[in-house]
Amino acid sequence: MEISGALILWDLGIIVLVSTFLGLIARSLKQPLILAYVVTGVLIGPAAFCLITSSHIISTFAEMGIAFLLFMVGLELDISRLRQVGRVSVLCGLGQIIITFVFGFLISLLLGFQQLESFYIAFILTISSTMVVIKLLSDKNELDTLHGKIALGILLIQDIVTILVLAMLENINTLSPLTIVDPIIKGLGLVSIAIAMGAYVTPFLLRHIARSIELLFLFALSWCFIFATASVTLGLSIGVGAFLAGLSLAAFPYNIEIISRIRSLRDFFATIFFVSLGMQIPAYIPLLPQAIIFSLFVLIGNIVLILLIVTLLGYKKRTSFLTALYLAQISEFSLIMANEGLRLGHISYSVFSMIIFIGVTTITISSYFIIHGHEIYRRISPILRVIDRISRDKELEHLPDKHRNHVIVFGCKRMGYKVVKTLQKFKRDFLVVDINPEVIESLISQDIPCIYGDIGDFEILKRIDLKNADSVISTVPDREDNLSLITKTRIANPGALIIVTSNDLDTALELYDAGADYVVIPRMLAGDTTSEFIGGYMRCKDRKFPGKDTGCRERIDKLKNSHILRLEDLKRDEFLRKYEPGFLKSLERKFDRKHKHRDY
């Protein structure tokens, strides 16, 4: 046992040391860290120096990395955020799986593979990597963007289908209705258990456990392992159970603390996963030409296919393109499926090696796609103009006959909608530009001037008449988009007031240098507001004698009541925007009658 423990410690030390060294090089060269981890695996694996002695232990750690990642996805997932992209996620996810599978199967047969091998290859090419996409989108703070939500929704559909297929592999040679229904029943049973436990058991446990952060962390890990074990026992994947475990805890207010504790653990095991991926690349790949063909099929064919499907469902070229670009790789589930196929004797080792090569190639290249997605889009945007001809963007607009000296507002989420309400209060002419079709439909129903478009789309900037605008306000905290908007506005209208948004100080200074008149930094505004609040209270107390500061309390109470009313108004607006025009106007009339004496 001591020797085994020493060997495991040696292997982990080698992985961490080499990954750190290559990661520093990759960071200095501005390359994806995932590439450094994969190269680490190649160097320390059998293809090069063969420094790892306990490869099966490393594979186990890699599976734990997948489990922790999907556990975190479940914890961070707010199902309500995906409702607005539910239709496109389901239709695009299923459509892409079917079409890609058919073409992949035919290509495999044409390249000389047997039918069963062609089935494995075709399905493996259809699914994208939840682990890679979630990690990189999280690093770029794009999980809450429209294309991020659509990509996440599509990944969830792919994972659900993959889970069902994985459960049927054992009996794929004797496929029958029973082998199809059985995994579905097991999966629904596990989901039902997660829902029941989350409703009746977890709240009782968390009330007592949450008093200690350490116990909360241990409980979260235990919960993850319980569901992962139950999933494996039912013949499903470890990742399925881990995901459901996270999802069952996501509704509780303690998920933030759990996420903060689990994140480092996830990053460590995720690193081992990518290293183990590189370790599986053999020194010699017997089916290299076929592997290159299939890699190109994933990197090009999948992008074109998803781009067309998302566009046909009504989204503009930028959302469609970025969604497609981010899904151009095969999944960690693909590698699990290939490993199962090899274990069951359904595919040969040469086919398994080819799939590993495809996985490493597509995951590495797609990492560049995701990191540089916006720059890639800007370079090929002129080529994509034909895409907008088949989208529904012309229907999603409510433009006035003419506008002059108007205000243009980019983005209509919470900050943007508050700006819109202020402009309405002052009876100013304005136009809202938003990339979310549901938001535009809601604004049209409220008779608010708007157009479905993207801040980075030059054609939209022409249509909204920047030349005659009085002010341009961007609530979208994207650096490249805001720099482009400032440049275009200053060229078309040098005297316009430009207000943009940034999430960090360096970008804010860069936006000022580019010509912005004011840069909104949300977290700084929050600090300024709190500071003014406290300062006002302290100045008030300084002017009062001890024990006679009732006037200060009255001011605080008045400010508090005003704040509550504003929050209620915002909540009302968000609620009303979800309903159809007739019902919306009816609710607004009822609300206004009830609160007609309120001073807005």
Q: List, for residues 499-537, the tens digit of each pLDDT value.
A: 999 888 888 888 999 999 998 888 777 666 666 667 776
The predicted model scores a pTM of 0.68
Label residue 2 by pLDDT band (50, 70, 90). very low
Burial class (CB in 10 A: 0-12, 13-18, 19+), 410: buried
Please give the DSSP secondary-structure letter assigned to residue 504: S
Label residue 395 by pLDDT band (50, 70, 90). low
Helices (H) and strands (E) in the chain, counts: 28, 7
Label residue 446 by pLDDT band (50, 70, 90). confident
Element (H, E) at 303: helix 302-312
The pLDDT of residue 313 is 83
What would you measure as the largest C-alpha separation in the chain, in angstroms?
Answer: 92
Range in 178-187, 269-278, 580-589 the model is least confident about = 580-589
Q: Are 166 and 236 in contact (CB under 8 A)?
A: yes
Q: List, for residues 202-223, the tens digit of each pLDDT value.
A: 877 877 787 777 888 888 889 8
Q: Where are the alpha helices (DSSP H) in 111-236?
A: 115-126, 130-139, 146-168, 177-196, 202-209, 213-233
The domain ranges of the chain are: 60-387, 395-520, 525-594
Q: List, for residues 24-51, the tens digit of each pLDDT value.
A: 998 887 777 777 888 898 899 887 888 8
The pLDDT of residue 486 is 92
Q: List, for residues 306-365, the tens digit of each pLDDT value.
A: 999 988 887 778 888 989 999 999 987 787 788 778 878 888 888 988 988 898 889 889
Query: How many C-beta neighbours within 10 Å does residue 454 have?
Result: 24
Label residue 77 by pLDDT band (50, 70, 90). low
Label residue 1 by pLDDT band (50, 70, 90). very low
| Multiple choice CATH, 60-387, 3.40.50.720, 1.20.1530.20, 3.40.50.20, 3.60.10.10 | 1.20.1530.20
Q: List, for residues 122-149, the tens digit of each pLDDT value.
A: 999 999 987 788 778 877 767 767 788 8
Residues 6+ apart with CB under 8 A from 397: 440, 444, 450, 451, 452
Kindly report the CA angle at 509 between 506 and 511, in degrees rounded to 5? 110
Instruction: Looking at mean pLDDT, say which of 219-233, 381-395, 458-472, 517-531 comes out highest.
Output: 219-233
Alpha carbon distances (Å) from 42 to 32, 46, 55: 16, 7, 13
Name the token pair of 275.
Answer: 């290293």
The answer to whether residue 577 scores a pLDDT higher than 80 is: no
Greater pLDDT, 34 or 449: 449
Average pLDDT over residues 68-80: 71
The pLDDT of residue 543 is 60
Q: Calculate the CA dihedral of residues 59, 64, 65, 66 and round it to 10 degrees.
A: 100
Q: For the residues of 543-598, what is the DSSP string, one character each?
A: TS-TT--HHHHHHHHHHHHHHHHHHHHHHHHHHHTTS-HHHHHHHHHHHHHHTTT-
Q: Which of 471, 485, 59 is nearest to 280 (CA)?
A: 59
Name the token pair of 93.
Answer: 């996810």
The pLDDT of residue 19 is 92
Average pLDDT over residues 463-468: 82
* Domain made up of 395-520: CATH architecture: 3-Layer(aba) Sandwich (3.40)
Q: In what order do the strands lie in the sheet with 450-452?
A: 397-398, 450-452, 430-434, 406-410, 469-474, 497-501, 518-520
The answer to whether residue 244 scores a pLDDT higher than 90 is: no
Element (H, E) at 92: helix 86-110
d(CA 351, CA 358): 11
Label residue 113 by pLDDT band (50, 70, 90). very high
The pLDDT of residue 521 is 85
The answer to whether residue 547 scores a pLDDT higher than 80 is: no
The answer to whether residue 161 scores a pLDDT higher than 90 is: no
Greater pLDDT, 94 or 35: 94
Range in 273-287, 351-365, 455-469, 544-558 the model is least confident about = 544-558
In degrees and rounded to multiples of 5, residue 150 shows phi and psi of -65, -45
Which residue's structure tokens are 């999948």?
A: 302
What is the pLDDT of the chain when averaged over all its residues? 79
Q: Which of 404, 439, 437, 394 is nearest to 420 (CA)?
A: 439
The answer to whether residue 167 scores a pLDDT higher than 70 is: no
Rg (CA), the chain: 27
Name the token pair of 345.
Answer: 């004797």
Label residue 580 by pLDDT band (50, 70, 90). very low
Residues 6+ apart with CB under 8 A from 93: 153, 154, 156, 157, 158, 161
